[in-house]
Amino acid sequence: MKVVGRPLPRVDGATKVTGRAVYADDMLPARTLHCKILRSPHPHARIVSIDTSAARRVPGVLAVITGADLPIKFGILPVTQDERALEHEKARYVGDPIAAVAATEEEIAAAACDAIVVEYEVLEPVMSIEAALDAPKDERIQEYGGPNNVHKLVALEFGDVDGGFARAEHVREDVFFYQGNTHLPMEQHSAVATYVDGRVTLWSSTQVVHYVHRALSKVLELPMHRIRVIGAAHGGGFGGKTDPFAHEIIVAKLAMLTGRPVKCTLTREEVFYAHRGRHPVLMWVRTGVTGDGRITAMHFRSALDGGAYGSYGVASTFYTGALQTVTYDIPAYRFEGCRVFTNKPPCGPKRGHGTPQPRFALELHLEKIARDLDLDPVEMKRRNFVKPDTRTVNWLRVTSCGLDECADKVLAASRFRERKRTPGHGMGFAISTYLSGAGTAIYWNDMPHSEVQIKVDRGGVTAYCGAMEIGQGSDSVLATIVAEELGLQPSDVRLVTADTDTTPIDLGSYSSRVTFMAGNAALEAARKMRALLVEAVEASGRKYEEVAFEEAAVLGEARFGALTTAGSYTPPKIAGPYKGSGVGPSPAYSFSACVVDLDADPRTGLVNVNKVWIAHDVGRAINPLSVEGQVEGSVYMGLGEALMEEQVFRKGLHKWPSMLEYKSPTFLDMPEVETFIVETNDPEGPYGAKEAGQGPLLPVPPAVCAAVFDALGVWIDEIPVTPEKVVEALRRREKGEPPRYGPPRFPSIPYPPAIKVEPPPRDAAAAAR
């Protein structure tokens, strides 16, 4: 390998360090109008009337629109088309978009919004999971879903769960809570639209041009070929820019109405309202084990606080129950999940989508079981590790798996076993897994998940792909793969990406799918191109390696005419035979293990993380620098969630939608991170590669809590671990109460009877099928 596996600079590095990368808010086409959105000041209210007449009279205002102008509902999942770009019937959270203005200056648009008079009939807000489970005082938040304000209920059972518990020598139950938090990308969402010759063009800081394209087409009632969506340079997503958003639709509509370019950049506060962040999840878990700590059965319940709309919520709900089995061999498993609607900004996918919460619960729950049995928690966990090339009880196909090696690496490097036990100092260990792309698309279709086209002419090569560079390095991965196959350097490859007019489809930068899926598509296209070039060069009596690429290209073009190839990737159909099996399967899983070393002050409750060791099975590092960057960034975000980040509400509205009060770790809050890349050469990944962008976040929060227990002897069963929680747990211990801070109980939820699913055959050969 010439370029794969080498720590080469990213192909977009120079553009970004010179300030030349053009983000959506950097665009200002001639005659651009600025858009501001009026948002609901009430968490829950019927909209009685909207009077925009005064706003229209403000000098400089060119258009004012309301929900009546954009009545068609959209939503990321086909089953939950419950959002409107502008609501004219009902507001469901503080920040829900109600009206929008296009004006010559942003300050004029803001003043015009202020001049819009909306009459509301205020309804009782529903602000917690418990309240959502009760009968609504006024009316439901959404008209669909389960009883009261329940959105979705699921119940699945794999194998003989009751039998497994009967067989267990020890059974334990625990309740955990993972507070919601948000992505907080440094770039505030921004979109610019033009309407020229009957065609809409939208530049946006989105992670998925394709889904925005679909939503625009639906709401604007324009065929997709009259809409072009282009991903602008992207200032950070982490899942937060994966839904189609109101402002994207609004600027397109305003451009159509005014015939001028229209731009909308959200303020930081509005970014908190756009949200789609981590669901707050309450969890209950019950596990049976043998005397030596082997799991015999597990029963896991989750309750997700979904906010006001569906977003990815149905998928998020399934994800809270899906991947427990991918790290631990659980022979019998029951999962009951529930998502409720509340009057808060909608939750959705954030790095690790729906799985960091159950991972947190599971890892700490197993720690506690091990202590009940006087077993070493690490050993007990290892005893239950899944093996490569198996199928889990819920039918997930595990192929390459470097869990053991990951654990070995961090345990050895951190000298975890030799650690000195001094009060106030602690170390904690945890593991996790994540998908390399979801095995099924958001909307049902049989098309490939990613396509790449390659064109060679005039001595140059260009690769076209719908994938969106969001900072994770996807452009570099594509360039590296094409370069490797053609014998070039990544910087020799021109890229055209994330443009629905010029690039073939890719489903976008979410669920860690780009390296795996777009990478495989690129590999196929590049190999086809290489074959053409090799044939042409060999016909001239020489070897491909011996001629310069420019010459090979000329020979190829002379022999075959225009040189283009294409590749595509469709994940294997490996979902299990049951309803709901679409969430969880992935062509490959990454694995991580982590050790956290910290000091916790019993007097103040303050926690100071000294160091984090993390090992990540990425299959194969196409660019080790980028993999390290993803792992370090994940650890950072995991520490933020574990220690300080929380999206909380007070009196019906976001308590602190600002960068000052929503605490994101600074340079000084970030400990040293030692990263180990573990390579297992996945059989289906491009060159053996798997994901790296999300998985390494997951073990961090439970490792922090395990380390706090190690240091102080108290369990913090709730994220984030604030000093007040630590102090309170210590106080309880002193009073002889259980040494714990966390949710006292799990509510009673009307789960339906579980769908019983026969587990797959347990032997490896059958599993591989």
Question: What's the closest the beta carbon of residue 726 comes to another protein, in angstroms?
Answer: 10
From the CB of 769, what's the least distance to ligand FES, in Å?
42
User: Quick one: which of 543, 651, 745, 769 contacts another protein (CB under 8 A)?
Assistant: 651
Give which of ligand FES, another protein, none residue 444 binds (C-beta under 5 to 8 Å, depending on kind).
Answer: none
Report 348-387 residues binding another protein (CB under 8 A): none
Of 47, 108, 304, 314, the one binding another protein by CB under 8 A: 108
Which tokens is 150 given?
Answer: 């329940």
269 is a site residue for another protein (CB under 8 A): yes
Nearer to ligand FES, 444 or 667 (CB): 667
Q: Which residues pair with 224 in a beta bridge?
A: none
Binders in 725-744 for another protein, by CB under 8 A? 727
**Residue 661 is a binding residue for another protein (CB under 8 A):** yes
Which residue number is nearest to ligand FES in terms of Cβ? 186
Which of 239, 354, 471, 571 is the binder for another protein (CB under 8 A)? 471
Residue 725: alpha-carbon gap to chain centroid: 28
Among 406, 393, 376, 405, which Cα is nearest to 757's? 393
Q: What residue 727 binds from another protein, ligand FES, none (CB within 5 to 8 A, per partner kind)? A: another protein
Taking CB under 8 A as the binding criterion, the range among 80-88, 584-592, 633-641, 753-761 that sits at the site for another protein is 633-641
Rounded to whole angstroms, the Cα distance separating 14 from 505 reads 27
Size of the site for another protein (CB under 8 A): 92
Q: How far is the CB of 518 from ligand FES (least distance, A)?
A: 21
Tell me if 60 contacts another protein by CB under 8 A.
yes
Q: How far is the CB of 268 from another protein (least distance, A)?
A: 5
Residue that has been written with the tokens 């009967």 in this structure: 166
Question: Residue 176 is inside which H or E element, if any?
Answer: strand 170-178
DSSP state for residue 506 in the 8-state scheme: B
* Residue 471 or 685 with smaller CB distance to another protein: 471
656 sits near another protein (criterion: CB under 8 A) = yes
Rounded distance between C-alpha atoms, residue 605 and residue 722, angstroms: 8
**Residue 235 binding another protein, by CB under 8 A:** yes
Find, among 409, 411, 504, 489, the residue nearest to 453 by Cα.
504
- Which among 77-85, 108-116, 372-380, 460-468 is the span making contact with another protein, rule CB under 8 A? 108-116
Nearer to another protein, 40 or 440 (CB): 40
Neighbours of 625 (CB within 10 A): 15
Q: How far is the CB of 673 from ligand FES (least distance, A)?
A: 16
Residue from 153, 233, 401, 521 binding another protein (CB under 8 A): 233
Q: Taking CB under 8 A as the rule, which mask of x and - marks residues 249-268 in contact with another protein? A: ----------------x-xx
Q: Is 26 in the site for another protein (CB under 8 A)?
A: yes
35 binds, options another protein, ligand FES, none, Cβ within 5 to 8 A by partner type:
none
Q: Is 22 in the site for another protein (CB under 8 A)?
A: yes
Q: Measure CA 635 to chain center.
A: 15
Determine phi and psi for 301, rounding to 5 degrees.
-120, 140
Among 321, 633, 759, 760, binds another protein (CB under 8 A): 633
Shortest distance, position 13 Cβ to another protein, whole Å: 3
- Which x/- pattern over 686-725 shows residues binding another protein (rule: CB under 8 A)? ------------------------------------xxx-
Instruction: Check binding of 629 to another protein (CB under 8 A).
Output: yes
Read off the tokens for 475.
């452009």
| Closest-CA residue to 353 (of 320, 307, 306) | 320
Return the CA Rg of the chain.
26
> Whole-angstrom Cα distance, residue 108 to residue 720?
41
* Closest among 8, 13, 14 to 480, alpha carbons compared: 8
Could you give the string, one character per residue 178-217, with x where binding to another protein holds by CB under 8 A and - elsewhere? -----xxxxxx-----------------------------
232 vs 500: CA distance, rounded Å = 12
Among 42, 151, 275, 353, binds another protein (CB under 8 A): 42
- If binding is defined by CB under 8 A, does position 610 make contact with another protein? no
Least distance in Å: CB of 492 to another protein? 17
**Which one of another protein, ligand FES, none interacts with residue 115, CB within 5 to 8 A by kind?**
another protein
For binding to ligand FES (CB under 6 A), which residues are involved? 186, 236, 471
Rounded to an integer, what distance in angstroms lies between the CA atom of residue 381 and that of residue 429? 10
Query: 107, 121, 134, 737: which one contacts another protein (CB under 8 A)?
Result: 107
- In sequence order, the 6+-apart residues with CB closer than 8 A to the CB of 591 are 327, 401, 402, 403, 406, 431, 432, 433, 616, 617, 678, 695
Residue 327 touches which member of ligand FES, another protein, none, C-beta under 5-8 Å by kind? none
User: Nearer Cβ to ligand FES, position 238 or 434?
Assistant: 238
Is the Cβ of residue 327 or residue 626 nearer to another protein in the bound state?
626
Whole-angstrom CA distances from 305 to 76, 137, 279 are: 18, 18, 6
Q: Least CB distance from residue 236 to ligand FES, whole Å?
A: 5
Least CB distance from residue 270 to ligand FES, whole Å? 15
**Beta carbon of residue 644, minimum distance to another protein (angstroms, whole number):** 6
β-strands 450-457, 607-617: how paired?
unpaired
CA 64 to chain centroid? 34
Strands 170-178 and 718-719: parallel
Among 163, 219, 167, 159, which residue's Cα sits nearest to residue 193? 219
3-state per-residue secondary structure call for 606-652: CEEEEEEEEEEECCCCCCHHHHHHHHHHHHHHHHHHHHCCCCCEECC
Q: How far is the CB of 558 from another protein (least distance, A)?
A: 35
Strand order in 33-39's β-sheet?
Answer: 61-66, 97-103, 33-39, 262-265, 190-196, 199-204, 227-231
Q: Is 110 in the site for another protein (CB under 8 A)?
A: yes
> Which of 335, 365, 319, 337 is closest to 175 using CA atoms?
365
Residue 664 binding partner per list ligand FES, another protein, none, with a CB distance cut-off of 5 to 8 Å that depends on partner kind? another protein
